Amino acid sequence: MAKKPKKAEEPEEAAPPEDGQGVKPGRFRKLAIFGGIGLAALSALGGGGYWFFAHGKGETGEAPKNASPVAFLDIREMTVNLSNEPNQDRPKVLKFRAALEVKDKKLVAEIQPLLPRVEDTFQVFVRELRASDLDGSAGVYRLREELLRRVNVAVYPAKVDAVLFKDIILQ
C-alpha cells in the first residue's frame, strides 16, 4: 500500500506551549474562577446549615420554651389468649405492657379514670387476633395503630397521640 500524501488543509497537532510549565495560559484563570465559586457556594451552604439548626434555640442551646413536654400513662400488664389458628393444639398467649403518650400532663388526669374502659377495649380486640396477625414488625405496627384508634374512641374528647409497647411476648 502506498501512503497518502498529506493535504495542506489537514491541521497538524498543536505543539504544547513553550512557557515551561506545560499549562495553557487561560486555564489557570478558569480554575481560579470555578474554585472561587465552589468555595463561595460551600460557605453559603455551611452558613445556611448553621442558621437552620441553630435557629430557634436560645444562647444556652436549649429548645424553645413554648415546646410542651409530653406525658406518659402506663397501662397495667395484660395477658390475653389469642384465637386458635386452624389445626392448632393449644392456644397462644400474648403478654404485653403498654404506655399511652399524650401531649399534656392535664390529659393524664382526664384519662386516668377511663383506664378500665381502655383496658377492656384492648382485651376485647386482642382476643380476636391470631398469632399470625402479629408476625413481624408489620404485625406489631398494625396492632399499635388499631389500639390507638380504639383508645381514642374510648377516651373521647381527650386525645392520645401514641400507644407505645414496653414489652411484647407471644407464647
- Rounded distance between C-alpha atoms, residue 140 and residue 79, angstroms: 16
Better pLDDT: 59 or 129: 129
Q: Could you tell me the residue ranges of all domains in the chain?
A: 23-66, 71-170
Tell me the C-alpha to C-alpha distance, in Å, between residue 62 and each of 58, 59, 68: 6, 8, 13
Specify the residue for cell string 499549562: 23
User: In angstroms, rounded to a whole number, what is the distance separating the alpha carbons of residues 44 and 50?
Assistant: 10
Are residues 95 and 171 in contact, defined by beta-carbon separation less than 8 angstroms? yes
* Beta strand spans in the chain (E): 71-81, 93-102, 162-170
For range 147-156, the mean pLDDT: 93
pLDDT for the residue numbered 7: 57
pLDDT tier at 73 (50, 70, 90 boundaries)?
Answer: very high
Cβ atoms of 71 and 105 within 8 Å: the answer is yes
Which pTM was predicted?
A: 0.58
Residue with cell 377516651: 155
Domain 71-170 fold is Tetrahydropterin Synthase; Chain A (3.30.479)
